[in-house]
């Protein structure tokens, strides 16, 4: 329950954009799994695919767009964040 509260609060170190990106990826993979399962069932019932393949291509494109949009939101938000400076520790030479 604490993780959900941290998602709603700001400056907690928990990124809500990362959560949305991972959630969209999981939903996309699940939906693609359902599409593949439907095709397999359609294939094994009468050894033909009677499903509209153009419609399935549109669904796959929509899912890829959903995942891409969630990734773009994460990448574009981190574009202007300050980058971590490398540590200034002396390197040991052997």
Instruction: Give the sign of the dihedral formed by CA 31, CA 71, CA 84, CA 9.
Output: negative
Identify the band that residue 10 occupies on the pLDDT scale cut at 50, 70 and 90. Answer: low
Return d(Cα 51, Cα 45) in angstroms, integer: 12
Enter the DSSP assignment of 14: -
Return d(Cα 74, Cα 37) in angstroms, integer: 31
With a CB cutoff of 8 Å and minimum separation 6, the contacts of 66 are: 24, 27, 28
Q: How confident is the model at residue 90, as a pLDDT?
A: 57
Return d(Cα 74, Cα 13) in angstroms, integer: 15
* Residues 27-85 pLDDT 10s: 889 999 998 898 898 889 888 887 788 988 998 899 899 888 888 877 787 777 666 66
């Amino acid at each position: 329950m604490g993780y959900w509260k941290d998602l709603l609060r700001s400056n907690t170190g928990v990124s809500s954009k990362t959560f949305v990106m991972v959630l969209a990826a999981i939903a996309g993979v699940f939906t693609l799994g359902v599409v593949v399962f439907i095709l397999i069932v359609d294939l094994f019932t009468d050894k033909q695919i009677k499903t509209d393949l153009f419609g399935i291509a549109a669904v796959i494109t929509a899912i890829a767009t959903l995942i891409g949009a969630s990734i773009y939101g994460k990448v574009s938000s981190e574009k202007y964040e300050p980058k971590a400076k490398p540590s200034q520790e002396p390197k040991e030479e052997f």
